[in-house]
Amino acid sequence: HLALAEAGMRDRIRNRWMTDGVTMIDPATVYIDASAEFSQDVTIHPNTHILGETRIASGCEIGPNSVLVDTAVGEDSEVVASHVTGAVIGRRVKIGPFSRIRPDVSIEADVNVGNYAEIKNSNIGSSSHIGHFSYVGDADIGHNVNIGAGTVTVNYDGDKKHRTVVGEGAFIGSGSMLVAPIEIGKWAATGAGAVVTHDVPSAE
C-alpha cells in the first residue's frame, strides 16, 4: 500500500511539471522529489532521478541515467549518465557520460566535463575542459584551462587534504600528477606524465 501511495504521488509530481512545460521522454522511468523545481523547456530523459532541493533552469537536458541531488543547474546545460550531488553548475555546461560531481563543487559557464571524471570540493572556471579519466579534488581551476586525460590532483598526504590552484589558460598534460599543495601559474604547462611536486611559475 505504501508503494502504491508513493507511485500515485510520483505521478502527480510528474504531471504537474509536464503541465508546466517540462518534457519527459518516458515519464514512468523518471523520479522527481516534491522539493525539486524546474523552469520551462527542460527535457528529462529516461532512468533519471531529480532529488532533494535540485533546481534546473530552462533549456537543460538531463539524462538518460542521471542522478541529481541538491544541485542547481544553469540554462542550456546537459548532464548525461552522471551523478551530481550538492553542486552549482553554470550555463551551457556539459557533463558526462559517466562522471561524478561530489559536494561543494562550483562549475562556471561553458565548461566541459567529459567521460569518467570526478570532481569534489573544487571551483572550475569558465570555458575550462576536463575531458576524461581525471580526478579534481580540493582545487581551484581558472578560466580556459585544459585538464588532460588521466590528470590527478594528489590532494591527500595520508593525514591532511591539500589544495591545488591552476591559473587561467594553463595546459595540464595527460597523465599529470599535481601533488598538492601546489600552484600552476597562468598559461603554464605540464608535460604528459609529469609528477609535479613544486609550483610552476606563470608563463605570461
Assess contact for 125 and 113: CB atoms under 8 A: no
The residue from 49, 129, 132, 162 that is catalytic is 132
Query: Residue 108 and residue 33: Cα distance in Å, rounded?
Result: 26
Burial of 202 (C-beta count, 10 Å sphere; 0-12/13-18/19+): middle
132 among known catalytic residues? yes
Alpha carbon 172 to its chain centroid, in Å, reads 19
> Collapsing DSSP states into helix, strand and coil, what is residue 154?
strand
> Collapsing DSSP states into helix, strand and coil, what is residue 11?
helix
> How are beta strands 48-51 and 55-56 bridged, if at all?
unpaired
Annotate 151-190 with b (16+ C-beta within 10 A) or e (fewer). bbbbbeeeeeebbbbbbbbbbbbbbbebbbebbbbbbbbb
The residues annotated with a catalytic role in the active site are 132
